Structure 1
Amino acid sequence: MQQIAVITLGIAELPRSRRFYTEGFGWTPAFETDEVIFYQMNGFVLSTWRTAALASDMMRTDLMRPGAFALAHNVRDRDQVVPLIGRLTAAGGNLLRAPDEPPHGGFRGYVADPDAHAWEIAWNPAWPIDENGHVKFAVS
């Protein structure tokens, strides 16, 4: 299935970014913490994540600036994460972070494509994927 579940933008200041997206676009956050804000879009989720926290989550020290980003490919089942990361690294990707359980739940790992673009491969039981492959932000 060809889908992107989440686009994550690295940002410098969460309050400044929040103002831009909520007052400028009129968007409503689906979830937020001191590090990240998630916005439910039409079939995917946009997140704005404080750059240092995003770089730490990806285990990368070369992204310590605003403008960093990560793409995410969500899968329907936890047991799909490890095999997909294996196929991606066998096809020329670079493992950035081995799959593990993040503090906010689910199971994820990071792989960089041959040009160093980061992809999070994730399963999150709180983010259902419909029959069309659209992810929905949901908090249980």
Structure 2
Amino acid sequence: MSKENAAMERRVSLITLGVADLERAAGFYEALGWQREPSPEGVIAFNLLGQTLGLFPLDKLAEDIGVPVEQLKPGGSTVTLAQNVRSVEAVAELLQAAEAAGGRVLKPAQDVFWGGHHGYFADPDGHFWEVAFNPFSPLGRDGAFQWGGGAS
């Protein structure tokens, strides 16, 4: 492989969350309006704009990676997922929807130091989600986000 072919393309194709209870986790995201895609048994997938969110049993994820399950830290991760929304008001609305679906609001909707508006929730397995309105990076017509507003 040549050096120019070895570069990693700038995209994330699949985000996989290790979950304790596959159906409970799927029900949470379905309550937020997402729709399951046909998937092999033991995996649940939701297509997003440009990528897919996958749900996979935590013990099976550890086995697939080849690490002890204790090495995976649901709810204690240093990773946060984020969804940018189209308005300040939509931040509180999505946080309320997440709470109604069984999530836990960690930080209510509020202005943030960088000039936007955001809040955080945890899904039933403790995965952290930020909900943000960023006036400096407006969403494209199709809902795509790109830092600095370069979305289509």
| TM-score after normalising by structure 2 | 0.48
Distance 2:113 2:8 in 1: 30
Q: Which has the bigger relative contact order, CA under 8 A and spacing at least 6?
A: 1
Q: How far 1:71 moved relative to its partner?
A: 0.4
Distance 1:73 1:123 in 2: 9
Q: What is the letter of the counterpart of residue 110 of structure 2?
A: D
Q: What is the letter of the counterpart of residue 133 of structure 2?
A: W
Q: What is the correspondence of 1:17-28 to structure 2 with a 5 Å cutoff?
A: none
70, 77, 85: which one pairs with 2:95? 85
Q: How far 1:105 moved relative to its partner?
A: 1.6
Secondary structure, counterpart of 1:110 in structure 2: strand
Distance 2:90 2:131 in 1: 9
Correspondence for 2:85: 75
Q: What is the letter of the counterpart of residue 80 of structure 1?
A: A
Distance 1:138 1:120 in 2: 18
Q: What is the correspondence of 1:77-116 to structure 2 with a 5 Å cutoff?
A: 77-116=87-126
Correspondence for 1:121: 131
Q: What per-residue deviation string (whole Å, max 9, x for no partner) do you get for residues 42-75 of structure 1?
A: x79xxxxxxxxxxxxxxxxx74xxx610000110
| TM-score after normalising by structure 1 | 0.51
Q: How many residues align?
A: 82
Q: What is the letter of the counterpart of residue 89 of structure 1?
A: E
Secondary structure, counterpart of 1:97 in structure 2: strand
Correspondence for 1:49: none
1:135 aligns with 2:145: yes
Secondary structure, counterpart of 1:85 in structure 2: helix
Q: What is the correspondence of 1:21-60 to structure 2 with a 5 Å cutoff?
A: none
Aligned-residue sequence identity (percent) comes to 36
Q: What is the correspondence of 1:4-15 to structure 2 with a 5 Å cutoff?
A: none
Distance 1:76 1:124 in 2: 8
Distance 1:70 1:103 in 2: 18
Q: How far 1:25 moved relative to its partner?
A: 5.1
Q: What per-residue deviation string (whole Å, max 9, x for no partner) do you get for residues 99-119 of structure 1?
A: 111111210000000000001
